[in-house]
Amino acid sequence: MSETHDFDVLVIGSGAAGLSLALMIADHANVAVFSKNKLSSGSTSWAQGGIAAVLDDRDSQESHVQDTLNAGGGLCDPDAVKFVVSQGKDAIDWLIKNGADFTKEDDPDNGAVVEGDYHLTKEGGHSFRRVIHSDDATGKEVQISLEKQVKKHPNITLFEHHMAVDLISSDRKNFKTQKCVGAYILDTKRGKIDLFRAKATALATGGASRTYLYTSNPDGSTGDGIAMAWRLGCRVANMEFNQFHPTCLYHPETRTFLLTEALRGEGAVLKLPNGKRFMDRFDERAELAPRDIVAHAIDHEMKRLGVDCLYIDISQKDDDFIKDHFPTIYKRCLKLGYDLTKEPIPIVPAAHYTCGGIMTDLDARTDVKNLYAVGEVAHTGLHGANRMASNSLLECLVFAKSAAADILKVIKREKLDTDIKPWDESRVTDSDEEVVVSHNWNELRHFMWDYVGIVRSTRRLERAARRIDMLAGEIREYYGAFRVTPDLLELRNLVTVSDLIVRSALLRTESRGLHYTLDFPEQDPDLDGRNTVLKPPRRPSSR
């Protein structure tokens, strides 16, 4: 039987953005946090590199701002960049206060640890060493420390294995005056959809890299928040900019293991199958060029040579240095038959980060009143046409803080909407055609990889658009007839997000940042500062 729950705030998503936001408001509000699987199943735990912040006296906020603007290809919002960068140190201090343990710098004189002096690494696009980290498992350390805090807070209720179906509007007939009053949530263990009413709702659901066949992301990165916000009436921006991480391990047993950019920051080089380096032919910064340039170069060389992978090599560094700085990667590669200290490791680019998303302001507010978006799900203006390495976790923390301040004001004046009807599944039945969902899922991810990947063309995009239209029609029919399942919900959201990606890509008639098209290979200066903004149809969504 379905249940009804009331909270001050719903936080949908349990990564760095969601857990930080919950902690920042929980002293003054009752908060529900939802995770599709376990709390730690999101992308945060998979983040290896670190968090970019100005922590060294030789560095400056101006330099961090300029590096971010340069990487963003002329589409970053300067105000958003300055807003985020200015709060970098405070964000790191907050994490440390909440238990995060970052790698310290060894004293070169006697090998002792210098108290408070953290080891900083350098990654692509950065002018200085400014990436604080916990060895090569920073995301895991952040996730564990935040989980410890939320689990012991009396005002936070955790709902693992709960998946959002749709957000709830106060008035579906008038998009201009509507506000978000809660969400329908599927308890995946009970198989029932419960009603959760709230004064404010925050989406922290991550990105949509599972749209693609090859990705560095966990299974849950299916664009749920973006799709739900779109259905509710929120604008989205810059969905054509999908970041492909240049170096994902190429191995038949694992298609999702990332080889952090910090490897290249510490001296790793990229090589062709014959052992020759090639990045200097594409950019003067070579291996330390921004990710879009490195990914394009690898893709170009793979296609030119007709090979399935290229290689990354850090074996010239001291063995102990490699094992100390990259213990997770070293052990994982060794388990799969590769020794990071002795040989090049096969790599291939993979979908990694969604730079576009739900449009928000600096308080993380969306177009719909009382609905917020924090983290990868949001388009804040920080990333532009390409995300600079290690800016993403910083964005989560900074916008969690600004959203928390605004949400606390909202819940003081808002009242719960008690007129919401429970989920109605009286006219649907159990499906006997689950194969339709799995078939459509596989087809979607294959043609998105083939037609809407690192290199695109108008013809490829139009071909993808036609197939998406066909799949969308099938899924609408299926969704209306059968009881929902997690796989069906994810497929529904993936098709919606894929449509937004393709439509955005067709609208951008140039190559810029992460969007490269054969029909418009040059950047158009007339499009500097111009985001690709899509407005949803002004009509109620289905069911």
- Encoded tokens for 361: 């302001």
* Residues found in the chain: 543
- 237 - beta bridge partners? 357, 533
* 310-313 and 269-271 beta bridge pairing: antiparallel
Contacts of 216 (CB under 8 A, 6+ apart): 46, 209, 245, 248, 256, 257, 258, 350, 351, 352
What gap in Å lies between CA 362 and CA 278, rounded to an integer?
Answer: 40
The SS3 call for residue 375 is helix
- Encoded tokens for 422: 């429970």
Q: What is the DSSP letter of 492?
A: H
Q: Residue 205: how many CB atoms within 10 A of its CB?
A: 36
190 is annotated as an active-site residue: no
The SS3 call for residue 170 is coil
- Encoded tokens for 14: 């349990």
Q: What is the DSSP letter of 517?
A: B
Q: What is the dihedral of CA 54, 58, 59, 62, to 10 degrees?
A: 120
Q: Of 14, 15, 25, 23, whose CA–CA distance to 407 is shortest? A: 25
- Encoded tokens for 336: 């799969």
Q: Of 465, 456, 461, whose CA–CA distance to 512 is shortest? A: 456
Q: Of 9, 408, 395, 393, whose CA–CA distance to 202 is shortest? A: 9
Between the two ends of the chain, the Cα-to-Cα distance in Å is: 19
What gap in Å lies between CA 84 and CA 353, rounded to an integer?
Answer: 18
Residue whose pair of structure tokens reads 């709830």 in the numeric block: 168
Q: Catalytic pick from 130, 197, 291, 508?
A: 291
What gap in Å lies between CA 68 and CA 78, rounded to an integer?
Answer: 9
Contacts of 124 (CB under 8 A, 6+ apart): 261, 264, 265, 285, 287, 288, 289, 290, 291, 294, 388, 389
Contacts of 48 (CB under 8 A, 6+ apart): 136, 137, 138, 139, 258, 260, 262, 328, 329
Residue whose pair of structure tokens reads 């979908």 in the numeric block: 351
Q: Which residues are catalytic, by number? A: 291
